[in-house]
Chains A and B, each alone.
Chain A
Amino acid sequence: QKEVEQNSGPLSVPEGAIASLNCTYSDRVSQSFFWYRQYSGKSPELIMSIYSNGDKEDGRFTAQLNKASQYVSLLIRDSQPSDSATYLCAGYTSGTYKYIFGTGTRLKVLA
């Protein structure tokens, strides 16, 4: 099992809809989780971070963490064409102090 896994997509949603992005992780990744948005050829930019079970909301974005099931998700409400990008899920490994990235999910928001 990869330490952090994501569906590569593309995930296509119509403008205004909710986009749901999912990520699962292994036992080695346990402390903190991050969602980054990356436009083609650009550097990743932080969207949300989450450390505790439950939901965390910031504007149109909601991150959800379920440690028992080892998954973390990102919901984007009222999706806009400008949200079209690759979304990277990352976890922090407390044992080795490294950030482990998934391969990313490509999101397409259709106008």
Chain B
Amino acid sequence: DADVTQTPRNRITKTGKRIMLECSQTKGHDRMYWYRQDPGLGLRLIYYSFDVKDINKGEISDGYSVSRQAQAKFSLSLESAIPNQTALYFCATSPPRGTDTQYFGPGTRLTVL
């Protein structure tokens, strides 16, 4: 089984709908991250969490919210989806040391019509 899973893998929705993307991990890491990727823009950080009670905004948090339900679960919500939120979304985890890499989920491709 994959260490970091994301559901759904693909989602098409309409403008104004509320959408939740879910991430689960079996790595046992405290740190979890949500990124979005757009062509030519690399990975941009939306939110990150260092434990259940520690949630922080990233560089592009407007229009998004998150919930850390447990150490292993970190969900991203789009309260009212808009077309420019169409992107590939990745969840990642990492150990606490900065010398360790992040581990990425398979991604969710979201299309907002």
Q: How far is the CA of A23 from the CA of B66 in the complex (A)?
A: 31
Task: Count A/B pairs, Cβ under 8 Å.
Answer: 51
Interface string of A63-94 (1 = CB under 8 A from B): 00000000000000000000000001010101
Residues on A with C-beta less than 8 A from B101 are: 34, 46, 49
Chain A contact residue count (CB 8 A cutoff): 23
Q: Is the CB of A98 within 8 A of B48?
A: yes
Q: Name B's interface SS.
A: strand
Chain B contact residue count (CB 8 A cutoff): 24
Interface string of B71-113 (1 = CB under 8 A from A): 0000000000000000010100010001101101111010000
The reply on A101 being an interface residue by CB < 8 A is yes
Q: List 8 additional contacts besides A32-B98, A41-B107, A99-B102; criterion CB under 8 Å.
A: A8-B40, A42-B106, A42-B107, A51-B99, A92-B98, A98-B58, A101-B35, A101-B42
| 15 A/B residue pairs, CB under 8 Å, sorted by A | A8-B40, A31-B99, A32-B99, A34-B102, A41-B107, A41-B109, A44-B90, A51-B99, A88-B43, A97-B31, A99-B33, A99-B102, A101-B43, A103-B40, A103-B42
